[in-house]
Amino acid sequence: MRRCPRKWYFMHYLKIFRKRETVNQNATIGNMCHDAVDQMYRLGMDPLAVIAQHAATMVAKEETLMLSATDDGTLQHQENITKIEKAEEFSIKMIEGYVEWLAETGADSGMTLIDSEVELYVPFPSTEITQLAGEQVMMLAKLDTRWHDERTDARVFMDHKTVDQFTSREKWAHLDPQFRWYALIEMLDNKAKGDNTWTDGGIMNMMRRVKRTGSAKPPFYKRLTLTYSIHQLRTYFERVAGELMRILQTEAMLNRGVSHRTACPPSPTSDCAWDCAYMQLCSIVDDGSDSTGFIETAFQIGDPLERYETVSA
Binding residues (CB under 6 A) for ligand SF4: these are 4, 6-7, 266-268, 272, 276, 278-279, 282
Q: How far is the CB of 192 from ligand SF4 (least distance, A)?
A: 34
Report in angstroms how near the CB of residue 137 gets to ligand SF4 at its nearest.
24
* CB of 267 vs ligand SF4, minimal distance in Å: 5
Nearer residue to ligand SF4 within complex by CB, 202 or 266: 266
Closest contact distance (angstroms) between CB of 263 and ligand SF4 is 14
**Considering beta carbons, is residue 7 or 83 the nearer one to ligand SF4?**
7
* Nearest CB to ligand SF4, comparing residues 84 and 281: 281
**Residue among 249 and 269 whose Cβ is closer to ligand SF4:** 269
Residue 37: what residue type?
Answer: V
Half-sphere exposure for 109 (CA within 13 Å, toward CB) = 6
Q: Which is nearer to ligand SF4, 20 or 148 (CB)?
A: 20
Which lies closer to ligand SF4 via its Cβ, residue 235 or residue 280? 280
- For the chain, the DSSP string reads --S-HHHHIIIIIS-EEESSPPPPHHHHHHHHHHHHHHHHHHH---HHHHHHHHHHHHHHHHHHHHHT--HHHHHHHHHHHHHHHHHHHHHHHHHHHHHHHHHHH-TTTTEEEEEEEEEEEEE---HHHHHHHTS--EEEEEEEEEEEETTTTEEEEEEEEEES-HHHHHHHHTT-HHHHHHHHHHHHHHHHHT--PPEEEEEEEEEES----TTSPSP-EEEEEE---HHHHHHHHHHHHHHHHHHHHHHHHHHTT--HHHHS-----TTHHHH-TTHHHHHHTTTTS-HHHHHHHHEEE--TTTT-TTT--
**Least distance between ligand SF4 and beta carbon 21 (Å):** 14
Nearest residue (CB) to ligand SF4, 8 versus 179: 8
Please state the closest distance from residue 292 (CB atom) to ligand SF4, in A.
Answer: 17
Pick 6 or 180: Cβ nearer ligand SF4: 6
Exposed e or buried b per residue across 138-149, where buried means at least 16 C-beta atoms within 10 angstroms of its C-beta: ebebbbbbbbee
Quote the least distance from Cβ 304 to ligand SF4, whole Å.
14
Pairing of strands 154-163, 199-208: parallel
Q: How far is the CB of 247 from ligand SF4 (least distance, A)?
A: 16
